[in-house]
């Protein structure tokens, strides 16, 4: 067999055809990989052809080289095509195998929640911080001086007995569990420079037994503004703005005359609750008034120069009518299902 005979086009074509047939017969990537050695490897027919090229006379080399090169290209192309086909088939199969019931995914962590009472305090604080007010806090076990005396509660005034106060032992220390967050107002007036615009949220205590509407431990938020020229109109404007953010644009407020030792004039505050269950209605919300001059004096602020307004409301009560909580027990018992309803939003 002469050398030139062995690189005849027909023979090359045959080699190519055989190689492609081999490639096509592979039914998996693994089989194809195995076939790759046989078809394109050192011992393959194509390799033998390439080896023969070197031995050809110089004048035949160019044509024969072209022939072998194109053969190799055809085989490679067929190989790649098959590789891609098989790859796609196998990926499709894999995707099918990997399918799961996504409705049965397991939980990987617990679901947490904030307590709505603390969320509500933060929400209210946010409203006032947005208006430039600051948030003030104070101790829960408080001196009677801050809780009563400085707030114009005379030692013998019946209003002092009305507060259902928890007293700390021994009595001569004159310490109480604060009955309202108003002592924080006193502290704010003593610690800050006028003008003062502060909001005082916090926990307060009264000796009520727990029932559907009472709890001995509850939360209040109070606001205090002391500045030149403040009037009850400023009080009303502030409360109306606050009410609209809490209860919607249609909310409005109503003031009714009342009595508190630390404000004069004093008012009860009702809010028109547009989203109330059973239709819009007036709801008792809190108390407010102009800071009593005696309170300003006790805090070293001249009532002839400055005036102030203050307001306060219960957080529990607000949550009750805002979010339709019907029983106080739910708010104080710590049943995780209660907080979980709220998650992180009110």
3-class DSSP state of 189: helix
3-class DSSP state of 90: helix
What 8-state DSSP symbol labels residue 51? Answer: H
212 binds other proteins (CB under 8 A): no
144 binds other proteins (CB under 8 A): yes
Instruction: State in angstroms the smallest separation of the CB of 233 from other proteins.
Output: 3
Residue choice 230, 246, 251, 271 for contact with other proteins (CB under 8 A): 230
Q: Which two tokens stand for residue 275?
A: 């989203």
3-class DSSP state of 268: strand
18 binds other proteins (CB under 8 A): no
305 binds other proteins (CB under 8 A): no
Residue with tokens 């310490």: 175
103 binds other proteins (CB under 8 A): no
112 binds other proteins (CB under 8 A): yes
Of residues 31 and 140, the one with the C-beta less far from other proteins: 140
Q: Closest Cα to residue 292, out of 266, 267, 264, 259? A: 264
Instruction: State in angstroms the smallest separation of the CB of 137 from other proteins.
Output: 8
Q: Which two tokens stand for residue 161?
A: 């007995």
Pairing state of beta strands 281-291 and 307-314?
Answer: antiparallel
Of residues 68 and 331, the one with the C-beta less far from other proteins: 331
292 binds other proteins (CB under 8 A): yes
211 binds other proteins (CB under 8 A): no
Residue choice 240, 245, 280, 346 for contact with other proteins (CB under 8 A): 240
293 binds other proteins (CB under 8 A): yes
Q: Which two tokens stand for residue 17?
A: 């055809």
Residue choice 15, 44, 182, 339 for contact with other proteins (CB under 8 A): 339
Instruction: State in angstroms the smallest separation of the CB of 52 from other proteins.
Output: 48
3-class DSSP state of 184: helix
Residue choice 52, 83, 134, 245 for contact with other proteins (CB under 8 A): 134
Number of residues that bind other proteins (CB under 8 A): 101
**Cα distance between residue 24 and residue 237, in whole Å:** 85
Residue ranges in 176-205 that form contacts with other proteins under rule CB under 8 A: 177, 190, 195, 197, 203
334 binds other proteins (CB under 8 A): yes
For residue 316, count CB atoms less than 10 angstroms from its CB and return exposed for 0-12, middle for 13-18, buried for 19 or more: buried
Residue choice 53, 159, 245, 276 for contact with other proteins (CB under 8 A): 159
**Cα distance between residue 226 and residue 296, in whole Å:** 9
Pairing state of beta strands 263-273 and 175-177?
Answer: unpaired
> Which region among 8-16, 80-88, 89-97, 331-339 touches other proteins (by CB under 8 A)?
331-339
Cα 234-240-241 angle, rounded to 5 deg? 90
Q: What are phi and psi of 291, to 5 degrees?
A: -55, 130
333 binds other proteins (CB under 8 A): yes
Q: Which residues pair with 308 in a beta bridge?
A: 226
Residue choice 81, 129, 212, 305 for contact with other proteins (CB under 8 A): 129
341 binds other proteins (CB under 8 A): no
């Amino acid at each position: 067999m002469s050398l030139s005979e062995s690189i005849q086009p027909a023979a090359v074509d045959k080699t190519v055809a055989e190689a492609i047939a081999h490639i096509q017969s592979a039914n998996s990537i693994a089989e194809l990989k195995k076939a790759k050695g046989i078809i394109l490897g050192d011992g393959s027919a194509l390799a033998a052809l390439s080896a023969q090229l070197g031995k050809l006379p110089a004048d035949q080399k160019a044509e024969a080289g072209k022939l072998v090169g194109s053969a190799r290209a055809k085989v490679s192309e067929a190989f790649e095509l098959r590789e891609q086909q098989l790859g796609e088939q196998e990926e499709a199969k894999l995707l099918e195998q990997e399918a799961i019931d996504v409705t049965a995914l397991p939980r990987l962590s617990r679901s947490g929640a904030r307590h709505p009472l603390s969320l509500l305090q933060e929400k209210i604080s946010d409203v006032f911080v947005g208006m430039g007010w600051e948030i003030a806090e104070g101790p829960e076990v408080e001196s009677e001086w801050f809780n009563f005396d400085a707030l114009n509660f005379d030692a013998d005034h019946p209003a002092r007995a009305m507060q259902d106060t928890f007293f700390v032992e021994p009595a001569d220390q004159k310490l109480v569990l604060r009955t309202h967050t108003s002592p924080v107002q006193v502290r704010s007036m003593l610690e800050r420079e006028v003008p003062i615009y502060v909001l005082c949220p916090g926990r307060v205590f009264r000796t009520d037994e727990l029932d559907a509407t009472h709890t001995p431990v509850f939360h209040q938020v109070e606001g205090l503004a002391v500045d030149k020229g403040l009037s009850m109109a400023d009080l009303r404007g502030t409360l109306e703005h606050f009410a609209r953010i809490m209860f919607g644009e249609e909310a409005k407020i109503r003031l009714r005359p009342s009595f508190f030792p630390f404000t004069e004039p004093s008012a009860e505050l009702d809010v028109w609750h547009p989203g109330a269950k059973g239709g819009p209605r007036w709801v008792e919300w809190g108390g407010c008034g102009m800071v009593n001059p005696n309170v300003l004096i006790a805090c070293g602020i001249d009532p002839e120069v400055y005036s102030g307004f203050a307001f306060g409301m219960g957080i529990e009560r607000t949550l009750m009518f805002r979010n339709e909580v019907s029983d106080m027990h739910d708010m104080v018992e710590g049943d995780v299902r209660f907080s979980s309803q709220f998650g992180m939003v009110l």
